[in-house]
Chain A
Amino acid sequence: MSQITPEIIAGHGLTTDEYARVLEIMGREPNLTELGIFSVMWSEHCSYKSSRVHLKTLPTSGPRVICGPGENAGVVDLGDGLAAIFKMESHNHPSFIEPYQGAATGVGGILRDVFTMGARPIAILDPLRFGAPDHPKTRHLVGGVVAGIGGYGNCMGIPTVGGECSFHPAYDGNILVNAMTVGLARTDKIFYSAAAGVGNPVVYVGSKTGRDGIHGATMASAEFDETSEEKRPTVQVGDPFTEKLLLEACLELMASDAIVAIQDMGAAGLTSSSVEMASKGGVGIELMLDHVPQRETGMTAYEMMLSESQERMLMILKPGREAAARAIFEKWGLAFAVIGLVTDTGRLVLHHRGAVVADIPVGPLTDQSPIYHRPWEPTPPQPPIDPATIAEPADLGAALSALLGSPDLCSKRWIIEQYDHLVGGDTVVRPGGDAALLRLPGSPKGLAVATDCTPRYVQADPVAGGAQAVAECWRNLTAVGGLPLAITDCMNFGNPERPRIMGQFVGAIEGMAQACRALDFPVVSGNVSLYNETKGQGILPTPAIGGIALLDDHTRFATIAFKAPGEAILVVGRTAGWLGQSLYLRSATGREDGAPPPVDLAAERRTGDFVRDLIVRGQVRTCHDVADGGLLVALAEMALAGGRGADLTTPPGTRHRAAFWFGEDQARYLVAVPADAAGAILAAAAAAGVVAAALGVTGGDALTMDGRALADLAALRQVHEGWLPAYMAQA
């Protein structure tokens, strides 16, 4: 009788064709452990089977790229022997089931991806998307996710300095919890995952293995249904204290030259780490599972290989270094065990209780994993919206107030303050502006970090939306004075087996690739999260972009706050008054339609380079990019941050005031400069082929426009700061 029934195969998420390929590779029927290994390695989460052919089209190289996608994280050269190592990852499904632990372990996982390469993490960012505020689950999810991210990051002592938080009913059943970590390493001390050296010991360190999250990796790839909340025991509990010890112990060992290769145990723990290390190194690995440190008794080989217990690492050590390494890990109170060795067989061989319990050729397991060219359909374009068809608001100030107090545009202080964003003592620009800025210890340089995406644009036009996400991230980094270097991404989409969804994915990648090329902003790492869909309702396509930028001098930066009265306010970049897909359109009319704003990448680059140059030369210290909500929302944010108002003037000949002040045209910045410097800057802009114009003057404690009072800062502050705390205070 066969052990492997069609039900078991289906239960492991393998199709009939995929199972046929397993049989072919094995030359026999697999046992349950072997089937489990194929199942997790060939899950969407580990194999990228639906996305791989498209991801390949992204630009991933550049003069500063030391290591692009394929390793645990991307590596970028910062000069002076320093490298930034960074990546973003999703923990969407687990966070929906158990928001605190799901989000916490998401942070733990992305931290390990970065420190496994030898970097000390210096920043965490967390792009979050929740369902409608009035959905019965949303408040509980927001509270749990934010507490979980803080609970893990704060305990680790790594500042959380940025992220996003927006709300839309499309996320009611599938929230997005993405987390990005940026770390710092020396370029000559970067660690990779390719196993090497036949006979070298395979070493397990960190927490003991329990029956945590078995089948988590396959869960992360399966569409949600109403029974998924029953799959509860698969939730893992994070232990940030152990991870902190693991971080310090790993960095201490990395200071020596004992490590040949190292890989964190993430999704599909021991399976994916050992298979990937063997596959990258073109070698075999033999494991004695009896030696795996275990938290529970009676664990089977299947359970050990599929466990997703957190806070664990797998390493290949140089021969003879075991004792020194063990001393370090034991000093930090962590489990340390030699559990196997590197072989020349090219096979993953597992021993347990005196028997060989799995024997799989590693090459075919990884190289012959399924790849799908899934059918896709383009998203039909939406017509642009003519502002003339949208009524002017009776009261521009009231429209501004409504936007500033809306869930998407309100202050995220309630979140930011639950994260330790100061630990480390290097946070120069705190969260709340365009990008956070960290100084690099012992160096005059600084690193700016930001995450961005506007899912409603991607939904309306995946190509433009994909390009916009990259461009907005580049713009936010530029707005503090950074030279953008590279990005990581987290591609959150619905079910790729639906051609329309697959078309969103393909389009977004195409747009991203265009923008990355035009802006010299390569992709060095990333993550794909598909099947974010419940009962046929997919999320908005959400390619979250996380970018880093370099400042040669971390004292030459800009922040969004107005700093002095009487300064001239200039807008740099062209304003046409684009209302399609704008938040103003939604807020004023309830409509979420129209073509999103076009993305002119050449203008983006020209404008951004011009603005950055002003900041780097010390001519501009106040700058804010213009995004959601348009000019007036950005101006109000600058006024609130600086505690001083502005007197604004609508340019003569403006045909539609709301479109001018709330339109979401791209590639724009607002700057404030001493009044006597404005003329020269406008002239320089004209000379550089950049559109720029004066909009007003800073001062007072209100916003006034065209000689009339628009809004009082105190009142605006109340609506802007009030929404999120008031919302979260309801039970």
Chain B
Amino acid sequence: MKAAIVVFPGSNRERDAGRAITQASGTAPAYLWHQDTSLPAGLDLIVLPGGFSYGDYLRCGAMAAQSPIMREVKAAAGRGVAVLGICNGFQILAEAGLVPGVLMRNASLRFICRNVHLKVVATNSMFTAGYAPDQVIAVPVAHAEGNYFADDHTLDRLEGEGRVAFRYCDAAGVVTPATSVNGSARNIAGVFNDRRNVLGMMPHPENMTEAMLGGSDGSALFASLAKALP
């Protein structure tokens, strides 16, 4: 798998993502700079990492979404290249219009860093194929603005098209408003674009890939990609 991670000013989980990719695929990713105007040839996967691009100022992800490299990322997504946006990367994808919806302030208004449970809703993607349908996994979140919002029409469409990837739930897999850690509409933690080659998600699978760090439920996501994109 030939992967690249885009570094924006203020990205801070690019090395975490790089480690998870290397573990899963045996190949270290390239790091790209937000001002690059072209992508390396033959990329299979582009990752927009977590962090605080532009300090989360104005709106999370808004300024990064306007970076020169995002034009290339959009074009690559259009060609079917896999694009994974984690946390701030999800916010950037949403601001760039690559996935629908917006990420608002957490309902508590506070930053939240803790393990949460996710239900894997859709396993028919190259990101999630390695999970069992409805599998409950534990991964951390670490964000202040992960409160997914879209209008009802959009939410209905996402659900109808099977484009909800993950939902916040409890340890038993029960999805209720109380388990929506940040207030996300319909407990949505991750969504696909219409071609399912772009995934935006708030939780951090890259920080849950080793038992030593408290669990390895995030590994299957990277392993799925490595398998789909040999």
A contact set with B: CB distance below 8 Å: 147, 150-151, 154-157, 239-242, 244-245, 332-333, 416-425, 427-428, 430, 439, 554-555
Contact = CB atoms under 8 A, between A and B. Distances in A.
A240 B54 CA distance: 10
Given A240-B55, A418-B113, A555-B212, A423 B10 contact: no
A155 B214 contact: no
A165 to B, nearest CB: 16
Contacts of B113: 154, 416-422
A263 B212 CA distance: 37
A150 B54 contact: no
A633 B114 CA distance: 24
B117 interface: no
Contacts of A422: 113, 140, 142, 204, 207, 213
A676 to B, nearest CB: 25
B12 interface: yes
B13 to A, nearest CB: 6
Nearest to A245: B9
B19 A155 contact: no
Given A147-B111, A425-B213, 20 more contacts: A151-B111, A154-B52, A154-B111, A154-B144, A155-B52, A241-B10, A242-B55, A245-B9, A245-B10, A416-B113, A417-B113, A417-B114, A418-B111, A419-B113, A422-B140, A422-B204, A422-B207, A427-B213, A428-B212, A555-B212
Interface in B102-132: 110-114
A419 B140 CA distance: 13
Nearest to B112: A417
Contacts of A150: 111
Given A244-B10, A418-B113, A154 B142 contact: yes
A429 to B, nearest CB: 10
A156 B16 contact: no
9 contacts: A157-B12, A157-B51, A241-B52, A244-B52, A245-B10, A333-B9, A419-B111, A420-B142, A554-B212
A156 B52 CA distance: 8
Interface residues of B, number: 29
Contacts of B227: none
Contacts of B19: 425
Nearest to B50: A423
Interface string B71-83: 0000000000000
B44 interface: no
Contact of B142 (A244, A245, A423): A423
Contact of A420 (B57, B111, B206): B111
Nearest to B20: A425
Considering residues A154, A332, A425, A439, which has the most beta carbons from chain B within 10 angstroms of its beta carbon? A425
A487 to B, nearest CB: 27
Contacts of B55: 155, 239-242, 244
Nearest to A244: B10
Considering residues A154, A332, A418, A424, which has the most beta carbons from chain B within 10 angstroms of its beta carbon? A154
B2 interface: no
Nearest to B56: A155
